[in-house]
Amino acid sequence: MENPVLHLENAEIFQGETLVLSSLNLSINKGDFYYIIGKTGSGKSSLMKTLYGDLTLQKGTGSVVGFDLVNLKEREIPFLRRKIGIVFQDFKLLTDRTVFANLEFVLKATGWKNKEGINQKIEEVLEKVGMKSLITKKVHELSGGEQQRVAIARALLNDPELILADEPTGNLDPKTSLEVMELLNKIHQSGKTILMATHDYQLIVKFKHRTLKVEAGEVFEVVQQAVIL
């Protein structure tokens, strides 16, 4: 049996010195798609930050894409993040640069050197998200939905084992949210593992996946009919 992409056992998630989640047990296998829901401030983002090494896992055990979160050293964090694709609510793109330059920056920062390989990879991921025709556009010239597509392309650059999407439709209108969710669903169907924090009940209803709820410092799985944000 293969090892899970993400495994937490009796984990406690802290934000600074404040305990936000306790007794967290979670396993996500290759090819799974999980939503994680809960009120603002419930701990969803703190969990995400722990998974990509921004916060330390102080108690319990945990591993993500082969990295031990408890004993994770600072010098290992860039290597962890090469195996995880992260999609943020506010895109976190370099707005004064072109679409191409944003993706090139990430590839060079993660060790890519071959110019032809870089160009080919950028075209490949932009093709997947329907943004190849806008490769020379400056990011500030793009709509919110287009920027999020570029952010998703960026997350795909290093062929991640896990995609963490933290409120990826939070800054988008309903129509654009639907388009971005359709894209994430398509990426999942290609075999990618996704954990997505969201407040968008309509998306959860339309695109049915397993759902985790964060409430009163705990995380538990809920059935679709019982999903209440």
Q: Angle at the Cα of 100 (from 96 to 101), degrees rounded to 5?
A: 50
CATH classification number, 1-83+160-229, choose in 3.30.300.30, 3.30.70.20, 3.40.50.300, 2.60.120.330: 3.40.50.300
Cα–Cα distances in Å, from 223 out to 40, 184, 210, 213?
Answer: 21, 21, 7, 10
List, for residues 133-178, the tens digit of each pLDDT value.
999 999 999 999 999 999 999 999 999 999 999 999 998 999 999 9
Count helices and strands in the chain by DSSP H and E runs:
7, 10
- Which residues are CB-contacts of 152 (< 8 A; sequence separation ≥ 6)? 85, 87, 129, 168, 180, 183, 184, 187
- In the chain, where the domains are located: 1-83+160-229, 91-158
In this predicted structure, the answer to whether residue 1 has a pLDDT above a threshold of 60 is: no
List, for residues 170-229, the tens digit of each pLDDT value.
989 999 999 999 999 999 999 999 999 998 989 999 999 999 999 999 999 987 655 555
Q: What is the CA radius of gyration of the chain?
A: 17
CA dihedral 184, 34, 224, 37 (to 10 degrees): -100
Identify the burial level of 217 via C-beta atoms within 10 angstroms of its C-beta, where 0-12 means exposed, 13-18 middle and 19 or more buried.
middle
Q: Angle at the Cα of 198 (from 36 to 226), degrees rounded to 5?
A: 60
In this structure, what are the phi and psi dihedrals at residue 196, rounded to the nearest 5 degrees?
-125, 120
Q: Work out the pLDDT band at 29, boundaries 50, 70, 90.
A: very high
| Residue where the block lists tokens 């650059």 | 157
**Residue 228 confidence (pLDDT):** 54
Per-state percent for the chain, helix, strand, coil, to nearest 5: 40, 25, 35
**Residue 3 confidence (pLDDT):** 82
Q: Is the pTM of this model over 0.75?
A: yes
- Which residues are CB-contacts of 74 (< 8 A; sequence separation ≥ 6)? none
In this predicted structure, the answer to whether residue 41 has a pLDDT above a threshold of 90 is: no
3-state secondary structure of 157: coil
**Residue 49 confidence (pLDDT):** 94
**Residue 16 confidence (pLDDT):** 87
Q: Are 196 and 35 in contact (CB under 8 A)?
A: yes
Give the C-alpha separation, 217 to 197, whole Å.
16
List, for residues 69-126, the tens digit of each pLDDT value.
999 999 999 899 999 999 999 999 999 999 999 999 999 988 899 999 999 999 999 9
